Homo-oligomer: A and B are copies of this chain.
Amino acid sequence: MNAAVDDELWSAIGDPIRRTMIDLLLSDGPGTATSLSRRLPVTRQAVSKHLAVLDRVGLIHAEPAGRERHYQVDEAQLARAVAQLSAVGSTWDARLRRIKRIAETIELHRTDNQGG
């Protein structure tokens, strides 16, 4: 629907670090910048920036807990992102199928007309 929002979602999940972060938050439950950075090949500050990006597009949200900030995945928004992925995937898939069908048709006509 909204192309700008779509692009933001894409660029958010397009980064391998951010995809891993979402994976970690999903598999291990809520976490902080520090806890995530311990399981990633980048510093806490880099993780913090990525968390800000994911937060900005609504894929995660923070919950202050004392001196810590617990981040967790926003399920609805992630479900929307997954829908985007499968939408693009099926679009390309459909076009690949159509191209293949056309190619086969051409091939068929060629052998048909030229007799082999």
Q: Mark A39-72, 1 if CB is under 8 A from B, else 0.
A: 0000000000000000000000000000000000
| CB nearest neighbor in B for A72 | B99
Subset of 21 A-B contacts with CB under 8 Å: A10-B16, A11-B16, A14-B14, A14-B15, A19-B88, A22-B92, A27-B95, A75-B96, A75-B99, A75-B100, A78-B92, A78-B96, A79-B93, A79-B96, A82-B89, A82-B92, A82-B93, A85-B86, A85-B88, A85-B89, A86-B89
Interface of A toward B, CB cutoff 8 Å = 7, 10-11, 13-16, 19, 22-23, 26-27, 75, 78-79, 81-82, 85-86, 88-89, 91-93, 95-96, 99-100
